[in-house]
Chains A and B, each alone.
Chain A
Amino acid sequence: MNHALVQLAAEAEKENPLIPPWPELVIGLIAFVIVFGFLAKKLLPTINKVLEERREAIEGGIEKAEAAQTEAQSVLEQYKAQLAEARHEAARLRQEAQEQGATLIAEMRAEGQRQREEIVAAGHAQIEADRKAASSALRQDVGKLATDLAGKLVGESLEDHARQSRVIDRFLEDLEEKAEAAR
């Protein structure tokens, strides 16, 4: 065995390790071509396609997210604008209602005042008319009583109308004169 080793060592020294034998070159080439062929023709194009798809999917996802964000932002702004508008509108309505209420109250107050004055005026007129009616009725009654009394006293019928009215008038005039004199 030792002899065989020595012989092999001697053989190996003769062979230059930097000079490749051709069968090894051929096998080396075949082995590499197998790897290169499979990778270059089939496997790398396949994975490249998927990597590209994935990249696009990710970019698409980002774009979608960005679009959604922009939309959300615009919706938020719109909502805020609407809210502000609604607030403004509410304030305006409240203001308007207050103004309307004030005018309404003022109107009603004026109306009330007017009605009150009317009622007061009507009352005054009624009182005046009643007073006048009472005054004329009183005058007749007093005249009648006076004439009746005078007739009874003088025994003379003063029922004659002309005389009667003359006597009454005179009597009343006397009364008024006396009243004025008394004043």
Chain B
Amino acid sequence: MSADPTQTLAFDTSCHLFDGCGFPAPGLHSFMFEPLWGDADGNGFYFNKPMLLALLGSVIVVGFFWAAFARPKMVPGKLQMIAEAGYDFVRRGVVYETIGKKEGEKYVPLAVSLFFFIWMLNLWSIIPVASFPVTSIIAYPAVLAAIVYITWVSLTFKRHGFVGFFKNVTGYDKSLGAVLPLAMVIEFFSNLLVRPFTHAVRLFANMFAGHTLLLLFTIASWYMLNGIGIAYSGVSFVMVIVMTAFELFIQAVQAYVFVLLTCTYIQGALAEHH
């Protein structure tokens, strides 16, 4: 938002084409929010809109599953059926497929929570008034990626011991011969250092880009709404709708990818090294 606390929209609405002001392009500032409470400049605690959306998101996810699962019935109602379908999708479609049923059962709650939490935070992007994907702020994907990272690293230690852990993360394989040291270094970096980063950034960057695109076309639709620009404004508005539909798809896909990678990492941690 703007530094002007009275402005609640993502851009300056008084600016139009041919009015003599430049295009208020979206940028990093579109992802900065004035605190609702506290001061963002100092080192103290503050509270802003994405935080509110994050907490509201968890309330909605919990509320949804509470309404569906708190008093479950043998013959499910509509809500329970929908929730069961979602639950089953993550459980069977992701966890059982990657980790297997026996070992995977323990990680189902983590995967289900991650999927629906991330999906909800992504969905805020196209929900009016909220209109902001919380996951386009790196802190949220980073926390989730860190949780996953801690989970699989500690699991690898527990499963294989110290030497086993080292062999596991470096992809130790004698048959590689002379290339082995190089492969081990690359694998070590790739698995232990780069992996959590890419895990978080993949989600963050997708939502960041998606939100920027949506903003770009939304602002353009408004900005060009003057004189001959109205024709272009219409085109831009069609793009807003198209991009919104596309984002709806991307939001689900990114939540799915995040959880799928989580399960793949856990599966890798459980796997026996050669």
Instruction: Write the residues of chain A forming the contact surface with B, with a CB cutoff of 8 angstroms.
Output: 1-2, 4-5, 7-9, 11-13, 15, 17-21, 23-32, 34-36, 38-40, 42-44, 46-47, 49-51, 53-54, 57
Contact = CB atoms under 8 A, between A and B. Distances in A.
Contacts of A7: 3
Given A23-B45, A25-B139, A44-B69, A8 B32 contact: yes
Task: Across the A-B interface, give the 9 residue pairs with the lowest CB-CB distance, nearest first.
Answer: A20-B139, A24-B139, A40-B109, A28-B143, A12-B28, A50-B72, A8-B3, A4-B3, A36-B113
Contacts of B140: 24, 28, 31
B137 A20 contact: yes
Interface residues of B, number: 56
Interface stretch (B53-61, B165-173, B213-221, B249-257): B53-61
A43 B139 contact: no
A35 B3 contact: no
A1 B2 CA distance: 9
Contacts of B73: 50
B254 to A, nearest CB: 16
A28 to B, nearest CB: 4
A26 B46 CA distance: 11
Decide if the interface of chain A is mainly helix, strand, loop or mixed.
helix
B69 A47 contact: yes
Q: Most chain-A CB neighbours within 10 Å: which of B70, B73, B109?
A: B109
22 contacts: A2-B12, A4-B4, A8-B32, A17-B31, A20-B139, A24-B50, A24-B51, A25-B143, A26-B45, A27-B55, A31-B117, A32-B113, A34-B55, A35-B62, A36-B117, A39-B116, A43-B66, A43-B70, A46-B72, A47-B72, A47-B87, A50-B74
B208 interface: yes
B187 interface: no
Interface in B92-110: 108-110
Contacts of A26: 45
